[in-house]
C-alpha cells in the first residue's frame, strides 16, 4: 500500500515541497490541500494596492504548478489530529495521512492591542491588498485638499514599508488628497537592518511624502484614532497593520510542540511528532543562533530539504540538516527600490534602476521556478 503524503498550504514552501515530492517519490500518493486554488506571490502583493490589475500576474493556478499525479483538495484546514493521522477541514471533511508537511504560512499578530484586529486592514492575502486599494481610494475620493484623508500604516518592517510606498503610488497616480503615516514601535524602521540602510529607506519614504514615526508603540485603536504610549493620538480614515506574524488558528489545539501556533522543528524540519514536518512561516526552525526568519527566501530555500526529509523518513534514510544563508534584502517604495547585502554583489546597497531590475528578476525567477520562464517574463512589467 502506498504511503499518503499530505502537503498543507500553497505558499512558497508548499509549492516547492509538492514539486520536490513529485520528483523524489516514486511510490506514494501526494495530496495537496489549500484554501485557495492558486499560489500568490506574496512578496509582490503590495503591488495590488496601487494597481489591482497586477493580480493576474502574481497568482498562479495550482494546476500550473503540480503534476497530474498530485491530488489537489481545496479547503480550509481547521485542525490536525495527530493520533488519527487526519487533517480536518472546515467543511467537516477530513484527509488521512501517513506523513504531513505543514506549510500553512501565518496569520497577522495583533499583540493584544485593543481594537487593532477589528479595525485594521492586514496584508496577508490578495483580498487584503484589494481591500486596502478600495478603502484608500474611497477615502481619498471623499476627501478634499483642505481636509485630506488620513492613512496610517502600522509596522515599519518590509511589508509595512512596501505597503506605504504603494499607497503613495496610488495617491500620486490618481491625484488623491491623502496623508500617509508609517509608525513603528522600535527606534527605527527595518529594525534588523544596518543604520545606513535604515536612513536610506526613511529618505525614500519621505521623498514620497510618507511621514515616519518611530520609537513609540501603538497601545489602542479607536474608531477613528490610533493611541500611543507617549505620542498624542493620530486620527485615521484607513488603518493598515503589518506588525508581525503568528501561527494559524488551525494549529491552536495541536499537541505538537509549538510557539504561538508555529510548530517547533530542528534543522531537519521534523517536529515532536515523527510523522509531522513543518516549513516556512508555519515552523519555528531551531538553528544555531536565531531561528530562521519568516521570509519568502527562507521558505523557498528550506522547502526542498523539508520535502526530501519526508522522503528519507519513508525510505528509512538519515535526514538532511538545513543551513540558512541570508541572501540579502530587496525592498521597494513605489516604483523605486533598494537592495541590501545581496549575496554575490560586491556593494552593500544598491538603489535606482539596478535595484528595480534585480527585484523584478527575483520575482520573475520565482515564478519561473514553479512554472516556466515564459510565465515569469510575462509578469515582468507588473512586478
CATH number at residue 25: 3.50.50.60
Instruction: Please indicate, yes or no, whether residues 144 and 221 belong to a single structural domain of this protein.
Output: yes
**Together in a domain, 27 and 80:** yes
Where among 209, 241, 273 does a domain terminate? 241
Residue 354 has pLDDT above 90, yes or no: no
* Residues 290, 230 share a domain: no
More confident residue, 373 or 291: 373
Domain, as residue range, for 297: 3-35+75-106+247-315
The domain tally of the chain equals 3
On whether both 120 and 216 belong to a single domain, the answer is yes
- Check residue 27 and give its pLDDT: 85
Quick check: is 194 in a domain?
A: yes
Residues 367 and 342 reside in one and the same domain: yes
5-9, 103-107, 285-289, 373-377: range with lowest mean pLDDT? 285-289
Within a domain: residue 206? yes
Residues 308 and 350 in one domain: no
In the chain, which residue ranges form alpha helices assigned H by DSSP?
A: 12-24, 47-50, 55-58, 116-119, 126-141, 158-174, 195-207, 296-315, 352-370, 373-378
Higher pLDDT, residue 177 or 289: 177
Task: Say whether both 234 and 252 belong to one domain.
Answer: no
Average pLDDT over residues 45-72: 96
Residue 55 lies in a domain: no
In a domain, 63, yes or no: no
Q: Distance of alpha carbon 77 from its chain centroid, rounded? A: 18
The whole-number pLDDT of residue 328 equals 85
For residue 298, is it within any domain? yes
Asked if residue 52 is part of any domain, the answer here is no
Which residue is listed with cell 477530513? 94
Residues 6 or more apart from 77 whose CB is under 8 A from it? Answer: 8, 33, 35, 87, 88, 89, 90, 104, 248, 250
Which of the listed ranges 203-212, 335-344, 351-360 does the model predict with the highest average pLDDT?
203-212
Same domain, 229 and 278: no
273 with 310: CB under 8 angstroms? no
C-beta of residue 219 within 8 angstroms of C-beta of residue 229: yes
Residue 311 lies in a domain: yes
Residue 230 belongs to some domain of the structure:
yes
pTM of the predicted structure, to 2 decimals: 0.94
Query: Does position 357 have pLDDT exceeding 70, yes or no?
Result: yes
236 within 8 A of 183, measured Cβ to Cβ: no
Say if residue 1's pLDDT is above 60.
no
**234 and 334 fall within a common domain:** no
Statement to judge: residues 137 and 83 lie in one domain: no
**Residues 171 and 193 occupy one common structural domain:** yes
289: confidence class by pLDDT, cuts 50, 70, 90: low
pLDDT at 160: 97
Give the residues across from 102 on adjacent strands: 8, 278
CA 154/CA 133 separation, integer angstroms: 16
Q: 200-218 in b/e burial notation, b at 16+ Cβ within 10 A? A: bbbebbeebebebbbeebb
3-class SS of residue 211: strand
Of 223, 241, 259, the position where a domain reaches its end is: 241
Distance, in Å, from the CA atom of 142 to the CA atom of 176, rounded to the nearest integer, reads: 9
* pLDDT for res 342: 74
Residue 122 CB burial class (10 angstroms; 0-12, 13-18, ≥19): buried
Answer whether residue 288 shows pLDDT above 80: no
Q: Could you write out the three-class secondary structure of 271-298?
A: CCCCCEEECHHHEEECCCCCCCCCCHHH
- Do residue 201 and residue 285 come from a single domain? no
Show which of 217, 241, 265 is a domain's final residue.
241
Q: Is the pLDDT of residue 373 over 60?
A: yes
Amino acid at each position: 500500500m502506498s504511503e499518503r503524503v499530505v502537503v498543507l498550504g500553497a505558499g512558497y514552501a508548499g509549492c516547492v515541497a509538492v514539486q520536490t515530492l513529485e520528483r523524489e517519490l516514486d511510490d506514494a500518493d501526494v495530496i495537496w490541500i489549500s484554501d485557495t486554488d492558486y499560489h500568490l506571490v506574496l512578496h509582490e502583493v503590495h503591488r495590488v494596492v496601487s494597481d489591482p490589475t497586477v493580480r493576474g500576474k502574481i497568482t498562479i493556478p495550482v494546476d500550473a504548478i503540480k503534476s497530474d499525479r498530485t491530488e489537489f483538495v481545496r479547503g480550509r484546514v481547521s485542525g490536525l489530529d495527530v493520533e488519527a493521522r487526519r487533517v480536518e477541514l472546515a467543511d467537516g471533511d477530513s484527509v488521512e495521512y501517513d506523513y504531513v508537511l505543514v506549510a500553512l504560512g501565518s496569520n497577522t499578530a495583533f499583540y493584544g492591542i485593543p481594537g487593532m484586529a477589528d479595525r485594521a486592514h492586514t496584508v496577508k492575502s490578495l483580498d487584503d491588498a484589494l481591500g486596502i486599494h478600495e478603502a484608500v481610494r474611497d477615502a481619498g475620493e471623499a476627501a478634499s485638499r483642505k481636509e485630506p484623508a488620513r492613512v496610517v500604516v502600522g509596522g515599519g518592517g518590509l511589508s509595512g514599508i512596501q505597503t506605504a510606498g504603494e499607497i503613495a503610488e496610488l495617491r500620486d497616480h490618481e491625484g488623491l488628497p491623502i496623508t500617509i503615516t508609517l509608525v513603528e514601535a522600535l527606534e527605527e524602521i527595518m529594525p534588523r537592518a544596518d543604520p545606513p540602510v535604515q536612513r536610506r529607506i526613511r529618505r525614500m519614504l519621505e521623498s514620497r511624502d510618507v511621514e515616519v514615526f518611530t520609537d513609540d508603540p501603538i497601545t489602542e485603536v479607536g474608531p477613528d484614532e490610533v493611541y500611543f504610549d507617549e505620542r498624542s493620538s493620530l486620527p485615521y480614515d484607513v488603518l493598515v497593520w503589518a506588525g508581525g506574524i503568528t501561527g494559524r488558528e488551525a494549529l491552536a489545539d495541536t499537541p505538537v510542540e509549538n510557539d504561538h501556533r508555529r510548530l517547533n522543528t530542528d534543522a531537519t524540519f521534523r517536529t515532536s511528532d515523527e510523522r509531522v514536518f513543518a516549513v516556512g512561516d508555519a515552523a519555528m526552525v531551531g538553528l544555531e543562533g536565531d531561528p530562521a526568519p519568516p521570509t519568502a527566501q527562507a521558505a523557498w530555500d528550506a522547502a526542498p530539504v523539508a520535502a526530501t526529509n519526508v522522503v528519507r523518513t519513508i525510505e528509512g534514510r538519515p535526514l538532511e540538516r538545513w543551513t540558512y544563508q541570508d541572501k540579502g534584502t530587496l525592498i521597494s517604495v513605489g516604483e523605486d527600490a533598494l537592495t541590501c547585502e545581496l549575496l554575490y554583489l560586491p556593494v552593500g546597497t544598491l538603489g535606482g534602476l539596478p535595484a528595480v531590475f534585480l527585484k523584478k528578476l527575483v520575482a520573475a525567477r520565482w515564478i519561473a521556478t514553479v512554472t516556466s520562464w515564459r510565465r515569469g517574463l510575462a509578469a515582468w512589467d507588473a512586478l
